[in-house]
Chain A
Amino acid sequence: MIDIVLIGNFIFLTLKNAVPLILATTGEVITERSGVINLGVEGCMIVAALVGVVTTLLSGNYLVGLLLGGLVGALLALLHGLATVVFGANQIVSGIATTMVGLGITSLLGRGYVGRSLLGLRPSPLYPYDIPLPDYLKPLASAIVKQDVVVYISIIIPILCMWFLFKTKLGGAIRACGENPVVAESLGVDVVRTRLLAVGLGGFLVGLGGAYLSLGIVGSWVENITAGIGWVAVGLVAFSMWVPLRALLASYMMASLISISYMLQGRVGISSYFLSMIPYIATIAILAIVSVERFRLRLGAPAALGKPYIREERLG
């Protein structure tokens, strides 16, 4: 006998847990399309998660918390952008440093906010009414309909990013910088400015995802709230082959695994410490699978990914 309530619960959790992953992965796709790897995703997310909670507590408004979370996500990403795009620093080391800064700052500043619950401020569902359906279908329908607005917005954002990256002039410029910055520059694209824009825009989406983590999922600030979700998102970027719509798909896959590992806790004879390893093990597996695929299909990362570009001039 399949338990319909359990399935409804699973769908509800998966849709919710996918939001930070979708936003962060899509944001990182945009950044990496410009040729910059931002390994500071984890740091950007956690800073945004804290700022989201603090500003929501101060203003009483979720929208303020989400947007300001996105904004600080963008700011921290731009710190990485300053080091890597302007100063041509090693992108991997700089990204790791950015994450350290983010984890450190939030741990220092977040102390006074630990455990201050936001339950009274939860966003209202899109469809708060009873659904005229037979009883056995109600849990499924309400799992989909009774989500907060951000869940639906998070589905639209990758579609918008698809259009932005592949149909607009700016999106084309970003991709050109990621494939060959020298050619892009000769075609009149300002590589430094375009890359910074991509880093900032990506950081904003990553920040939104981080803010949703604390505001939408946990409902309060917890130290080390991200617990590696940002790194998982970076892994999903490779799996999505740098295509936003595939990022959406990859995020739902990972979110369903995370939801399963939640729901199994206490239900099966496996220690919760082992269940909590599932997303990390899955990320390693995904990275291994995608590497095999990449060799077979010759699908690749943006050609100039990770390579600094500095416009030199000669004296004269």
Chain B
Amino acid sequence: MFRVKVLRRYDVSSRFKLITYLTSFIVGIAFFVLFEALLGTNPYEVVDRLFIRPLTSYDDFRVSIRYTVPIGIIASGLLLVYRAGIYSIGAEGQMAVGAVFAAWAAYTLSLGSPTSVLVALSIGMLGGIIWGLLPAILKALLNVNEVLTTLMMNFIAYSLVDYLIYGPWRSPKSYGFPLTEPIPTAFTIPTYEGIPVINFLVLLTVVLFTYVVARMSKLGFQIRAYGLNPSAAYASGMSFFKVVLLSFIISSALAGLAGALQLLSIHQRLGPKSWSVTEGLGYTAIVAAWISRLEPLAVVPASLLMGALVNGGLAIKAVLGQSEGVVNLMNGMILLSIVAAEFFINYRLVVRLR
């Protein structure tokens, strides 16, 4: 008979960690491809859409970048809260409300070109913060489960957007579709050959910002302390209230910023599901944050990768007539296998014959 023993690993090399994570990522994708194959999709086609085209085709790359930017900006914020051991999944709703606030600014304020965009982006960030504030305060004061409250805020945000696009903001010129008017041109952010270059520069700035906050600031140190050992952090006099509130505010402001950027440069109007500004990217960013191992600089490759995968997933959906669920399924499979991979870094299995 076999007997499997679980042994703890000590001093794991970073090379081994990297190999294990990459392997687990590939395993997650492999399960996804296998599932698609079971549905009758040609597995080569799936791999082609997910990996080969985004790397070889300029057109695909241009579209991928549109997803990369919001995923990266949101993931940068999320990794701060995740580092503190707070599991916010509210980025999707904060992003949606950020877009709503930015749209409000665009429809009501009359400003000249560079100021208008800056004002709309700031108001979008404010919208994100407002949406994240209730879960943040409840967590900071009463330790209310933030997973559930942030998720509920997402559902409420969806309803709010639906109310606006089916109700007061619905454009009479949209041929019956629940879409709002395009935002005034003064508020749009230009793209170059379809590439949102400015947005990408914003992403790089955000990554540097979170790097400084996470690695060099006092707040970043306190965040890490709470994530690693809450009772020790509390005992050494660090304020739980401050850590929760500040990390939450930064992450929801960044989610709001991502929503505003997507609205002003890519979508330029609000719409229902499948034309929505968020496109579920607030959830994809969760996966990107964990792929980056909560390291700020690793967010750039992680979001490039997830942007390409989202683009590939949506291409599979469009070309092969599948549904929105493609991206969800892929995200879930990747996330599940990378969290389970932690085991193989901390432990090893010894199989013995008895």
Contact = CB atoms under 8 A, between A and B. Distances in A.
Interface of A: 39, 43, 79, 82-83, 87-90, 92-94, 96-111, 223, 227-228, 231, 234-235, 238, 271, 273-274, 276-277, 280-281, 283-284, 287-288, 291-292, 295, 310-315
27 contacts: A43-B332, A79-B336, A82-B340, A88-B343, A90-B339, A93-B290, A93-B339, A96-B335, A97-B336, A98-B336, A101-B332, A103-B328, A107-B325, A108-B39, A109-B39, A228-B155, A231-B151, A231-B152, A235-B152, A271-B167, A280-B156, A280-B159, A281-B156, A284-B135, A288-B138, A292-B142, A313-B5
A107 B323 contact: yes
Contacts of A231: 148, 151-152
B350 to A, nearest CB: 8
B273 to A, nearest CB: 9
A312 B152 contact: no
B326 interface: yes
A234 B142 CA distance: 18
Residue of A43, A89, A94 with highest tally of chain B CB at under 10 A: A89
Contacts of A277: 155-156, 159-160
B347 A104 contact: no
Categorize the interface residue count of chain B: 35 or more
B181 to A, nearest CB: 19
Given A108-B322, A277-B155, A101 B149 contact: no
A56 B233 CA distance: 54
Nearest to A104: B329
B147 to A, nearest CB: 6
Contacts of B322: 108, 111
A105 B323 CA distance: 10
Contacts of A101: 328-329, 332-333, 336
The 3 closest A-B pairs by CB, nearest first: A107-B325, A104-B329, A100-B332
Interface string B185-220: 000000000000000000000000000000000000
Interface string B110-144: 00000000000000000000000011001000111
B327 interface: yes
Contacts of B39: 108-109
Contacts of B290: 93
A111 B324 CA distance: 10
Nearest to B331: A100
B167 A96 contact: no
B89 interface: yes
Given A93-B87, A97-B332, A273-B162, A227 B339 contact: no
A14 to B, nearest CB: 21
B87 to A, nearest CB: 5
A220 B239 CA distance: 51
B45 interface: no
Given A92-B87, A281-B156, A291 B5 contact: no
B166 interface: yes
Interface of B: 5-8, 35, 39, 87, 89, 134-135, 138, 142-145, 147-149, 151-153, 155-156, 159-160, 162-163, 166-167, 283, 286, 290, 322-333, 335-336, 339-340, 342-343, 346-347, 350
Nearest to A37: B147
Contacts of B327: 104
A83 B336 contact: yes
B156 A89 contact: no
Contacts of A274: 159, 163
Given A43-B332, A96-B335, A235-B145, 9 more contacts: A83-B340, A88-B342, A89-B339, A104-B327, A107-B324, A273-B162, A284-B152, A284-B153, A314-B7
B163 A271 contact: yes
Contacts of B162: 273
A114 to B, nearest CB: 10
A104 B327 CA distance: 7
A94 B339 contact: yes
A93 B335 contact: yes
Contacts of A104: 325-332
A283 B134 CA distance: 13
Nearest to B165: A273
Contacts of B343: 87-89, 310
A96 B89 contact: yes
Given A108-B326, A238-B145, A276 B159 contact: yes
B84 to A, nearest CB: 13
B148 A287 contact: yes
Contacts of A92: 87, 147
A89 B340 CA distance: 5
Nearest to B8: A312
B325 A295 contact: no
A295 B323 contact: no
B91 to A, nearest CB: 12
Contacts of B340: 82-83, 87, 89, 94
A281 B7 CA distance: 46
A311 B134 CA distance: 40
A205 to B, nearest CB: 19
Contacts of B333: 97, 101
A107 B328 contact: yes
A47 B60 CA distance: 32
A182 to B, nearest CB: 15
A144 B274 CA distance: 41
A107 B342 CA distance: 29
B286 A313 contact: no
Contacts of B138: 284, 287-288, 291
